[in-house]
Structure 1
Amino acid sequence: MTKQEFIQFIENLRVEFIKNNAQWENKTIEDFLEAMARYVEDIDGYYQNINQEIDLEKIDWKVFSDILKGSSIYE
């Protein structure tokens, strides 16, 4: 994922939040950041479940976008 693609992803995520706020599990920044920390701890399981080998020691824009998206619903 390029920097520009990541910027577009962030904009799309913002629009999705505005439109579908009721569907997001973590609606405050505090809840979102807490979920993000927990999601990062467990993200290797996500990649194993979808059969992707990702080097999580070198987070790129794609992984960061997965973290942001996952954190919106992670409990």
Structure 2
Amino acid sequence: MTDELYSKQITSRKDFVEFLKLLHKYYASKPEDWENNTLESFLKALSDYADDIPKYYKNTKQDRSPETADWHVFADMLKGAIVYE
């Protein structure tokens, strides 16, 4: 399931909705895999990761601007918040 979650191409609202369903399914089946498995810790990690995501794109050499909102950036933020410390 994590392979599907992390490899999913997200270019539209529909893709993002499907991604959210996969994210929910992943949490429901493996909450122990989530570093931030409470709403409080997840939201804190999400805000911190959203602030740091430019570094992620730079370090992974992705040509993506987090300053321009798109469905893929939103999904990256949510994936990052799963484990961000």
TM bin (shorter chain):
over 0.9
* Unaligned stretches of 5+ residues in structure 1: none
Q: CA RMSD in A?
A: 0.8
Question: How far apart in 1 are the matches of 2:59 and 2:20?
Answer: 24
1:54 pairs with 2:64 = yes
Partners in 1 of 2:56 and 2:25 — Cα distance? 25
**2:62 partner SS:** coil
**Which digits, 9 at most, give the CA deviation of each residue in 1:35-57, with x for residues without a partner?**
01110111111101211122222
Residues 1:45 and 2:55 are matched in the alignment:
yes
Identity score, percent: 39
In structure 2, C-alpha distance between the alignment counterparts of 1:56 and 1:26, rounded to whole Å: 22
- Paired residues, number: 75
Q: What residue identity is the alignment partner of 1:37?
A: S
Gaps of 5+ in 2: 1-10
Q: Which of the numbers 44, 48, 51 marks the counterpart of 1:34? A: 44
Q: Which has the higher contact order (CA 8 A, sep 6+)?
A: 1
